[in-house]
Chains A and B, each alone.
Chain A
Amino acid sequence: MFDLIQYLVDGLAVGSVYALIALGYSMVFGVLQLVNFAHGELFMVGAYFVMYAISLGLPWPVALGLGMCFVGLFAVAMERLCYKPLRGAGKLAPLITAVGLSLLLQNLVQAILGPNPQSYPARVPEGKLSQFFGQYLPDPSQLQIPHLPDGLFDWNDLVIRHRDLMIFTIAVFVTLGLELFLRKTRPGRGIRALALQPNAAKLVGVPFDFTISMTFFIGAALAVVAGLLQGMADNQVTPYMGISSGLKAFAAAVLGGIGVIPGALLGGLVLGIAERLLVGYDLSTYKDGAAFFILIIVLLLRPQGLLGKARMVKV
């Protein structure tokens, strides 16, 4: 029984990272009904970007800010070049393009930075790149690498790591902030209007393309936050982290009710806790299936997701 509570607490941190990625899936799906399969790769690119920026000697808030802008603009460019021309070409064409983009990003990163995991301080792999960048990379011994807090809360035997608590708190605040942004500000209301009724939103003057770009930008920026947290928590980034976490984050978004912001948080936490429970009870080989097992059960009982509202289809 005691273990159970411990696993529940541990699962929150894993789930929080899923939740931060899931927010991007959820927002883009809400507006365009598009599953942006490349979103997981944005998380991976963001994790790399921030790790290299910090290894160049930038303080972490600057590195994070730069990463959010860079990956956000990248996502906007991706939408303009690859998804916008396919609006009205059915649902499958953009989906396949997204799969293509995901493959492309994963292999590009692997080709440039090498297939092996990187950890702090990140080095550029041997070759021309490293000769070029080598002169700019500072001496690793002088580098200030930021750490997530190391301490523990300890009640009787229930241990809560400060770092897990911090990740969880960040995820909750980001979700709350996003929900406030969507409810209270003008551009945020624009996003909700587009998600609810695109044509009516255009009629009342919501700038269509701008709002969609903004949706992609915000989603990507949140994925970078997740990338930084994951990279610091595991002290490792790999070219493949996007595909595995991305798929589960998408499952989390659907689980909580796709298009519903608090749903993404809830879905992420449920999946994270479930995985941690399986690892805790020595069933870790079943871990990857578990997320989807829960997903299917929930979809069958509540097809709109845990917090989603069912929509009537009118003829």
Chain B
Amino acid sequence: MMEQLLEYSILPLTLFGITAIQALGLQLILGGAGLLSLGHAAFYAVGGYSAAAFTVYAAPYLGLSQPLLLMLISLLVGAGSALLAGLIVAVPCLRLQGDYLAMATLGFAEIIGTALKNIDAVGGTRGFTGIPKLSSLPWVFSVLALVWWALARFNRTGLGLAIRATRDDEIAARSLGINTYATKLSAFLLGSAIAGLAGALYVHALQFISPDEADFSRSVVIVLAVVIGGMTSLFGSVLGALILVAVPEVLRFAPDVIREQRMIYFALIVIFVMLFSPKGLQSLVLRLARRHQKNESSSLGRKLGGAG
């Protein structure tokens, strides 16, 4: 029973780790730089496809067979190709503002999805199969931890601060001598590269990828993860990813009536989270924690007061 449960939980846990990495990448773009990208899944798909193409087509040619080395290189390939795709999208699109930028990223994602459907070498609409199994749960979680740690460090560097300053007030940031275009570009590129990492992990864990991964609905899931968790912190994005993966999984075990319609409950949860805690669940968690702390300190104060 326990073993079955463990075996069953491998796939949801892997998906959680991958969604969390995607969300961390988007957090930098959306929460950090304040750019709404509705096409984040496309960079993830580009990373996944290139990494898979590398291990399937290029690796035998280069004579690489050592799995660890191969996986590391394919991670680099995934991140690099997603970064390149990000560059192609960002250089023209970052001149646009707000909702127009959102629309342009959505458009590019649709174009990338359409292109992937039409490339026969990677399976077309049927999807890319026959990818060797190179990554697994430990890989996913190590990369997640690494990305989380690196982003936490990055946020404290000069560039990390400049990104947030640009988000808060672009004109003020420019008057302080920040090159706002460059900071936005670097946030976008870094976020895309992280999505590419997630893609490389995904294809080598599930041994399959289809053009659906570049779909608008996938991008929406990542945006939901970032916003539901609370877009101003890294923890919020990981929390959001956990909720997005866990809620449909848990509802699977619910009674029939609920299980069959779990997408309805999922949608309701999204709406209610936004209505009652528009800054995301992370703020709710913090508020509760603070109240708890206050209660503790006040009871401590009373005790001290009583003693004094």
**Which residues of A come within 8 Å of B, CB atoms?**
29, 33, 35, 82, 85-86, 89-97, 99-101, 103-104, 107-108, 111, 247, 250-251, 254, 258, 285-286, 288-289, 291-293, 295-296, 299-300, 303, 315
Contact = CB atoms under 8 A, between A and B. Distances in A.
A92 B95 CA distance: 20
Contacts of B220: 99
Interface string B32-55: 000010000000000000000000
B261 interface: yes
B113 A100 contact: no
B228 A107 contact: no
Contacts of B93: 296, 300
25 contacts: A86-B275, A86-B278, A89-B278, A91-B36, A91-B98, A92-B36, A93-B274, A100-B267, A100-B271, A103-B263, A103-B266, A104-B264, A104-B268, A107-B261, A108-B264, A288-B110, A289-B115, A291-B107, A292-B111, A295-B103, A299-B100, A300-B93, A300-B96, A303-B95, A315-B171
A292 B216 CA distance: 12
**Closest 3 pairs (CB-CB, A-B):** A289-B114, A292-B107, A100-B270
Interface of B: 30, 36, 92-93, 95-100, 102-104, 106-108, 110-111, 113-115, 117-118, 171, 216, 220, 223-224, 227-228, 231, 260-261, 263-264, 266-268, 270-271, 274-275, 278-279
Nearest to A86: B278
Contacts of B231: 92
Where chain B touches its partner, the secondary structure class is helix
Where chain A touches its partner, the secondary structure class is helix
A143 B115 CA distance: 46
B231 to A, nearest CB: 7
Contacts of A29: 99
A286 B275 CA distance: 39
Contact of A90 (B100, B268, B278): B278
A96 B117 contact: no
Contact of B271 (A35, A97, A254, A293): A97
Nearest to B275: A85
A299 B104 contact: yes
Given A103-B263, A107-B267, A285-B114, A96 B108 contact: no
Nearest to B260: A111
Contact of A293 (B99, B100, B107): B107
A100 B274 contact: yes
A300 B89 CA distance: 12
A313 to B, nearest CB: 8
Given A289-B114, A296-B107, 12 more contacts: A92-B227, A93-B227, A93-B274, A95-B36, A96-B228, A97-B270, A103-B263, A104-B264, A254-B103, A288-B114, A292-B106, A295-B107
A148 B278 CA distance: 46
A37 B278 CA distance: 17
A288 B102 CA distance: 18
B228 A299 contact: no
Contacts of B279: 89, 93
A293 B274 contact: no
